[in-house]
């Protein structure tokens, strides 16, 4: 088979979950090719796959990393031109690679191009319902009603386009452990095409040595280990990583702390100035080569609330402190979902301080209630292997044996 992957290039999460799929196909002897944009191009290239960049869909941010709705909207008709150019680029690349099937991760342009080239498209998407971003809580009922109606209208409009896909794969858990509960709201137009297969993770905890062994290999003592893994757009990561670094410097010595800024374009470097571990309680890196070692070894994860990172924490059985990006509807919704499932505590960026962060960390570390709920979720997650499920779906769609 020849499989064409087209992940969204905004941040690295979409490419990050396509890469394990691509590795699975390549391991079985199939040919794969990527198209994407932004920092995801270099990310895919570093993973060892052929990739071509296409015209990027631009999303503007404010200085604090929050979504700049007005500036993004101000592009207006130019967005349609960029979308048309992106679709044209997809048409050319699909014609050149001649795939048997296209897997689009959250990109409509690729679905349209595949249909125009008479190639079967499969859509991977966990944001079925796009939420209108807002920083302040909406208290007036009429505004809540308007927001709800507009979001539902958007769901049905997008639904009429997403249904061009042969299958719609949702990389999330079925209830009761659905991560993006607010976004996994299907349209009636394609509900029969939906498959919830569980989140995609590149490496399962059973593939790694025991946590205590990893800690020793990484040079940590027996103090609890906090792993802060920042994700999102470049502006988000730079801002929150800078603030956390200052807070962690003032944390008590009873914790070991690793912070990765998630800056893949900078490379694997120690933020303290060299490539060797520091003897201090705090280690800051721009990027870590194998974050799953730190995820397996840690006792607590700090995250922005990205879908992939949260899913990995559930598979690895790690409690979380979530600091969702302000006005980021997906991150905010995921944070709320995790809090309701007693898997995490959430802190808002505008009230974040060393004291609020330390209080949350202490609460998560000391609570047996959170530990019990996290264990239940981990046992539920162990039932799923999304990579295998998606591979079988592709084979069934193309009517080939697996």
As its CATH architecture, domain 205-381 has: 3-Layer(aba) Sandwich (3.40)
Q: Which residues of 222-242 are buried (b: 16+ CB within 10 A; e: fewer)?
A: eeebbbbbbbbbbbbbebbbe
Tell me the torsion sign for CA atoms 321, 8, 329, 325: positive
pTM for the full predicted model = 0.82
Residue 242 CA to residue 126 CA, distance in Å, equals 29
Q: What is the pLDDT of residues 67-126, one digit of tens each?
A: 554 555 555 567 778 889 999 999 999 999 999 999 999 999 999 999 999 999 999 998
Q: What is the pLDDT of residues 28-70, one digit of tens each?
A: 999 999 999 998 999 999 999 999 999 997 665 555 555 554 5
Please name the fold of domain 2-199+384-398. Answer: Rossmann fold (3.40.50)
Tell me, yes or no, if the two domains 2-199+384-398 and 205-381 fold the same way.
Answer: yes
Q: What is the pLDDT of residues 145-168, one digit of tens each?
A: 555 545 555 545 666 788 889 999
Task: Map out the domains of the chain as residue ranges.
Answer: 2-199+384-398, 205-381
- pLDDT surpassing 70 at residue 222: yes
Percent of the chain with pLDDT over 70: 83
Distant-in-sequence, close-in-space partners of 145: CB < 8 Å, separation ≥ 6: none
Residue 64 CA to residue 326 CA, distance in Å, equals 9
Q: What is the pLDDT of residues 245-303, one digit of tens each?
A: 999 999 999 999 999 988 866 544 444 333 344 446 899 999 888 899 999 999 999 99
Residue 14's pLDDT band (boundaries 50, 70, 90)? very high
């Amino acid at each position: 088979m020849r499989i064409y992957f087209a992940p969204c290039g905004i941040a690295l999460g979409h490419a990050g979950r396509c890469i394990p799929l691509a590795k699975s196909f390549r391991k079985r002897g199939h040919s794969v090719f990527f198209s994407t944009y932004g920092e995801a191009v270099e990310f895919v290239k570093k993973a060892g796959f052929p990739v071509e960049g296409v015209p990027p869909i631009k999303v503007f941010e404010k200085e604090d990393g929050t979504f700049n709705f007005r500036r993004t909207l101000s592009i207006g008709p130019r967005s349609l031109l960029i979308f048309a150019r992106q679709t044209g680029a997809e048409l050319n690349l699909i014609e050149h690679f001649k795939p048997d099937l296209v897997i689009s991760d959250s990109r409509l342009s690729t679905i349209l191009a595949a249909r125009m080239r008479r190639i079967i498209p499969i859509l991977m998407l966990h944001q079925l319902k796009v939420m209108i971003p807002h920083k302040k809580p909406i208290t007036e009922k009429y505004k809540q009603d308007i927001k709800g109606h507009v979001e539902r209208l958007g769901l049905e409009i997008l639904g009429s386009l997403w249904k061009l896909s042969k299958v719609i794969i949702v990389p999330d858990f079925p209830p009761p452990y659905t991560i993006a509960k607010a976004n996994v709201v299907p349209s009636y137009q394609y509900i029969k095409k939906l498959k919830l297969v569980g989140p995609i993770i590149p490496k399962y905890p059973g593939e790694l040595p025991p946590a205590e062994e990893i800690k020793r290999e990484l040079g940590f003592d027996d103090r609890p280990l906090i792993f802060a893994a920042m994700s999102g757009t470049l502006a988000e990561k730079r801002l929150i990583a800078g603030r956390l670094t200052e807070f962690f410097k003032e944390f008590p010595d009873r914790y070991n702390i690793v912070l990765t800024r998630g800056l893949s374009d900078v490379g694997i470097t120690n933020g303290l100035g060299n490539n060797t571990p520091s003897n201090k309680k705090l280690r800051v890196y721009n990027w870590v080569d194998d974050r799953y070692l730190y995820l397996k070894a840690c006792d607590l994860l700090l995250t922005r609330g990205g879908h992939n990172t949260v899913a990995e924490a559930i598979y690895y059985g790690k409690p979380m402190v979530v600091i969702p990006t302000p006005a980021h509807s997906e991150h905010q919704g995921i944070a709320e979902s995790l809090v309701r499932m007693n898997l995490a505590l959430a802190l808002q960026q505008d009230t974040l301080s060393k004291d609020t962060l330390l209080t949350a960390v202490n609460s998560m570390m000391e609570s047996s209630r959170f530990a019990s709920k996290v264990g239940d979720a981990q046992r539920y997650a162990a039932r799923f292997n999304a990579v295998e499920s998606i591979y079988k779906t592709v084979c069934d769609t193309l009517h080939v044996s697996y």
